[in-house]
Amino acid sequence: MNNLLEAILLGFIEGLTEFLPISSTGHLLIAENWLGRRSDLFNITIQAGAILAVTLVYRARLWHLATHLRERESRDYVIKLGCAFLITAVLGLTVKALGAELPETVAPIALALIIGGIAILLIERHVHRLPPRESVTWAVVVAVGVAQVVAGVFPGTSRSAAAIFAAMLAGLSARPRAAEFAFLVGIPVMFAASGHELLSTYFEPGAMQAEPWMELGVAFVVAAITGFVAVKWLLRYVSGHSFVPFAWYRILLGLLLLAVT
Q: In the prediction, which pLDDT does 67 show?
A: 94
pLDDT digits (tens, 9 = 90+) for 131-163: 888 899 999 999 999 999 998 888 888 888 899
pLDDT digits (tens, 9 = 90+) for 75-102: 999 999 999 999 999 998 888 888 767 6
- Displacement of CA 120 from its chain's centroid (Å): 16
Which residues, 6 or more positions from 149, have their beta carbon under 8 angstroms from its beta carbon? 87, 88, 91, 92, 95
Spatial separation of the C-alpha atoms in residues 245 and 232, rounded to whole Å:
18
The answer to which of 59-73, 123-137, 188-202 has the lowest mean pLDDT is: 188-202
Please tell me what DSSP assigns to residue 134: -
Spatial CA neighbour of 119 closest among 254, 216, 27, 257 = 254
Contact 1, 35 (CB under 8 A): yes
**pTM, to two decimals:** 0.88
Range of the domain at 214: 3-260
Spatial CA neighbour of 219 closest among 21, 22, 31, 20 = 31
Give the total number of structural domains in the chain: 1
Q: What is the mean pLDDT of residues 113-128?
A: 92
Spatial separation of the C-alpha atoms in residues 246 and 161, rounded to whole Å:
10
pLDDT digits (tens, 9 = 90+) for 13-34: 999 998 899 988 778 878 877 7
* pLDDT surpasses 80 at 261: no
CA atoms within 13 A on the CB side of 235: 14
